Chain A
Amino acid sequence: MSVPAVKHDVRRGAGLIGPLATATALLLMIAVPFVVGGYWLRILTNIYMYAVIAQGLNVIVGFAGYHAFGNAVFFGIGAYTAGVAITLGAPVWMAFILAVLVSVVAAAALGWPLLRLKGHYFAIATVALNMAMIDLIINIGGVTGGAQGLPLPLESLSPTDLNRLIYFLMLGAMVASVLIVLWLDTAPLGYALRALRDSEIGAEVMGIDTTLAKTLAWTISAAMTGGVGGIWGYWINFIEPGSAFDINLSVNGYVMMLVGGMGTVIGPVIGAFFLEIFSTIIWGQFIKIHLLILGLLIIAVVMLMPEGLLFYAQRLIRPRRRTP
């Protein structure tokens, strides 16, 4: 797991190219909605959404080393919080804030028992949590709409304006998530997390409050995931348990993080672009074997390039820097 060390090389080596490329990419992304139509706008919006989910996973998996397989539970929590808030008459912006807050509170409350679990146990406990939430929503019913789903009131904006609004919201969320990870990369918390990822006992010996650090990591992760969950709920306008807590959200995000490079700042975003564009262009032709290809892709990534695209791209550019 020497990924983070390598990433520093990239930023140092990139010099001016990095910021310039980032600025160009951002300008392009801002200009896009005024150029392309509904279909590609929708795909890009989806990519940004997944980039945030992958980035959220990056914080808890890539930095802290806790494999939260069911992290999409916060996506659902965010979506339902925003959805319920909007149906109860809250303004949309407040619904998004609530989505983030409730996700954070849920992560802090659940983190206490769950983050005591190590390795595999934690991974599966989060999956179980995700599955249980679906049942819980179905069974509470009431304001959540239960199994029938939760229709949101129709928005007065025109579809074009609404799609643009969602596009910018998701883009903003993605930029925010990258900035947070960029900060985390050099912040004391980031170092604490990487230390506890490599050795939890070692980190404790060095005086790191590991419980606090990993709970913070999970709340950050939850805030990101819950935030886009809220935006997604507003976008999709009809929330149902199966799609809000879809385990595939976690799986896709996880694969994207892995493909891009976990523990890096920009890897998850690259992974999201790579996988979503790949899926749109290629899988669109093979609906019936969609999961088969995804499964084979996961197997191929794990077997052939477990360190992620970013790592191998660097190796191509500067082979001598690599320490095997």
Chain B
Amino acid sequence: MLGQTIINGLLLGGLYAISAIGFSMVWGVMGIINMAHGSLIMVGAYVSYFAFSSLGIDPFLSLPLSMALLFVFGYGIQRILLNRLMRTSLLLSLVLTFGLDLVLANIAQLIFSADLRSVNTFYTSCSFAVGPLLIPYVRLAVFLLALVLAGGFYAFLNRTKAGQAILATALDKETARLMGIDPLQVYALTAGAGAALAGAAGSLASMLFPISPSMGLSFIGSVFVITVLGGIGSIEGAVLAGLVYGLIQSFAASLFGVNYQEIVAFVIFLVILVLRPQGLLGKRFYGEAA
């Protein structure tokens, strides 16, 4: 029972981690809290749902598609709307992305209605046993894929020129500009990458959770807690915090019942904010430009 709780928590934690990385990055680099991140995850889930139900494409295969679509969307929104706000109050960006969140949720509802959808492949409910532990194939695959994507994004940031430009801008915008980096371009790239990761999380989530226009709402709270727990802008922090969060949720559900998950999450959130505001692996300077 204990082992199963740990397995469940860890497997879910991978999805939590990939849900939070894009959000954390956008916050760390630009100081923008993207309230629409949950809805971007929702859009990713619907892309996979649509590809599966109408075109018969396996959700694992439609994942690159939803990443590409959301990259373009995130990039465009940053270029057209958010970049203009960067010079004024950053809290306005919070309000703006909230408006965007409403728009996305409403559009999804118009297209797909408020009904709960799900992606049921032939392998959805298959699992294998390791001793007394039951491991569903899909969850394991989602977990591994989430870790691969997180690793890939980490490599992108640290090994490529574009990634280095993003990190440089996060550290010091003015100096980055002196090095010939265009901050607005970097911001759009960051927003695009963040949205793409949200799309990936959505495609992965479509295989585990019911899909609905309001599913973003349940994600955004978790994503926020994980980001703060892991340290804003820290990829490895988000992965660690995602796994920890998955474990906490799993234990809270088995000890107190599913209803207490959010309260437990909130209490942890408060304790971290008061005791260790920079998060588990966060560095102090990240996100403080805001």
Q: A residues touching B (Cβ–Cβ < 8 Å)? A: 1, 67, 69, 113-114, 116-117, 119-121, 123-125, 127-129, 131-132, 135-136, 138-139, 251, 254-255, 258, 288-292, 294-299, 302-303, 306
Contacts and interface: CB of A to CB of B under 8 A. Distances in A.
Interface string B76-106: 0000010011001111101110111111011
A135 B221 CA distance: 13
A298 B99 contact: yes
A258 B96 CA distance: 12
B103 A296 contact: yes
The 6 closest A-B pairs by CB, nearest first: A298-B99, A295-B102, A295-B103, A292-B106, A132-B266, A291-B106
A139 B110 contact: no
A123 B259 contact: no
Nearest to B95: A302
B99 A295 contact: yes
B273 A117 contact: yes
Contacts of A120: 27, 31, 33, 90-91, 94, 287, 290
A306 B96 CA distance: 11
Contacts of B61: none
A131 B221 contact: yes
A288 to B, nearest CB: 6
Contacts of A127: 221
Nearest to A128: B266
Nearest to B33: A120
Nearest to A294: B102
A125 B94 CA distance: 14
Given A123-B33, A123-B91, 18 more contacts: A67-B91, A113-B273, A121-B228, A123-B94, A124-B224, A128-B221, A131-B266, A135-B260, A139-B263, A255-B95, A258-B95, A291-B103, A292-B103, A295-B103, A297-B99, A298-B96, A302-B95, A303-B96
Contacts, number: 108
A251 B98 contact: yes
A107 B99 CA distance: 27
Given A1-B89, A135-B259, A113 B102 contact: no
Contact of B102 (A288, A291, A303): A291
Contacts of B263: 132, 135-136, 139
A289 B95 contact: no
Contact of A302 (B85, B103, B287): B85
Interface string B264-290: 011001100110010000000001001
Q: Give the size category of B's interface with A.
A: 35 or more
Contacts of B88: 306
Nearest to B85: A302
A132 B262 CA distance: 6
Contacts of A132: 262-263, 266
Contacts of A288: 109-110
B141 interface: no
17 contacts: A69-B94, A113-B274, A120-B94, A128-B221, A128-B265, A131-B266, A132-B263, A136-B263, A138-B259, A292-B102, A292-B106, A295-B101, A295-B106, A297-B99, A302-B92, A303-B96, A306-B89
B107 interface: yes
Contacts of B96: 298-299, 302-303
A134 B274 CA distance: 23
B262 A131 contact: yes
Contact of A299 (B81, B109, B269): B81
Contacts of B265: 128
Contact of A119 (B84, B262, B266, B290): B290
Contacts of B27: 120
Contacts of A302: 85, 92, 95-96, 99
Contact of A121 (B81, B85, B277): B277
A299 B33 contact: no
Contacts of B225: 128
